[in-house]
Amino acid sequence: MNETTTPFSRIGGEPAVRQLVQRFYELMDTLPEAYGIRKLHAADLSSAEEKLFMFLCGWLGGPQLYVEKFGHPKLRARHLPFTIASNEAEQWMLCMRQAMAEVIPDDGLRAALDKSLNDLAHHMRNRGDPPNV
């Protein structure tokens, strides 16, 4: 894959990734349906927003900003302190899907990213789902 065909380039580089992440956190902060995932974050989302921006830049094939600053992401290990079951993964994806729909006009790219991010979100699960009562 050359530089012009990376998802990072196709999405529009750092400005578009920044816009995506900002919108994602706006949605997480305001959608009642995202309350479960929102309460796992600090009151000030700026640190989480910056880390997700840096991570996504590299994950999408752009500069490895997160790795340069923090080392290997070790996503599962970094998320172990938080209770993440299917509901939290789906709330995260709800916000990301809406943000992608608003920021990424390329349907094919958006679908591919949705699949990959959904797999990643569910990989972060570290607790079983509560029983239906």
Share of the chain above pLDDT 90, in %: 75
Tell whether 123 is in a known binding site.
no
Can you give the pLDDT at residue 96?
Answer: 98
Q: What is the pLDDT of residues 8-66, one digit of tens each?
A: 999 999 999 999 999 999 999 999 999 999 999 999 999 999 999 999 999 999 999 99
Give the pTM. Answer: 0.90
70 confidence band (pLDDT: 50, 70, 90): confident
Read off the DSSP letter of residue 35. H
> Are 27 and 99 contacting, i.e. CB atoms less than 8 angstroms apart?
yes
Can you tell me the mean pLDDT for 105-126? 94
| Second-level CATH architecture of 3-123 | Orthogonal Bundle (1.10)
Q: Can you give the residue ranges of every domain in the chain? A: 3-123
Nearest to 69 by CA among 81, 82, 53, 85: 53
Q: Which residues contact 121 (CB under 8 A, 6 or more apart)?
A: 89, 90, 92, 93, 96
